[in-house]
Every structure is written in structure tokens, then in C-alpha cells.
Amino acid sequence: MGVLGHDLRNPLGAIAMSAQLLRRRADLPDGARALAATNARAASRMEEMINTLLDFARARFGAPIPLSRAPNDLGEIVLETVEELRSAWPHRDVEVVFHGDARVSGTRRGSRR
């Protein structure tokens, strides 16, 4: 699993870099810019999945998994995920309604260490 996780990082890095470069182009239409932003967020989520896979592989061999608790906004996380879903299924309606405070203390993608 560790080798697989490391091997997945190279093509994912290319996807993430391509999305970032596209977002910087001044001549990119707004719709394409939004898709590039969605791809960049999806690549970030995939990177966290790979990191989780590598953590799992390390834990199987007795290594600790470093975690760092921090304030997080679940509403923000949900909205990012819903935006990815809307890109994947643009003809579907997705409605998100929040009631109350969605802030929690815990770990979040990219805040593990």
C-alpha cells in the first residue's frame, strides 16, 4: 500500500499542477476557470486520501499517526464537497441548508501534522 500511495502522487501532482496553471491563464473562460478550480480541490482531496492510505500503511507497522486538532468549519467542507458533486453531475439539483454553528475542533485535510 505504501508503494501504491507513493506511485499515485506523481500523476496526481501533474493533475494538480495543470489545474493551477489553467486557473492562472488570463484568457480562460469563467466556466473553464471554475472547472479548473474544482479539479484543483478534487486533487487536494485525493492527496489527502493518499496521505490517509500511507498513514494506514505506517500504522500497520506500528508507526504513530500524527494528528493536530484545530478549529474547522464543517459548512465550508460540505460546500466544497457539494461543488465537486455539482461539477460531476451538473444536471442534478443539490441544496444545502445549515442550521446553527457548523464549527468544530478536529483534524481536516491538510492539517494532519
Domain ranges, ordered by start, for the chain = 2-106
* Digit-coded pLDDT (tens) for 38-78: 899 889 888 988 888 888 888 888 888 777 788 888 898 89
pLDDT band at 113 (very low <50, low <70, confident <90, very high): very low
**What is the overall mean pLDDT for the chain?**
84
pLDDT value for 63: 83
| Helix extents (H) in the chain | 2-24, 30-60, 74-88
Buried b (16+ CB within 10 A) or exposed e, 14-34: eebeebeebbeeeeeeeeeee
**Residue scoring higher pLDDT (87 or 41):** 41
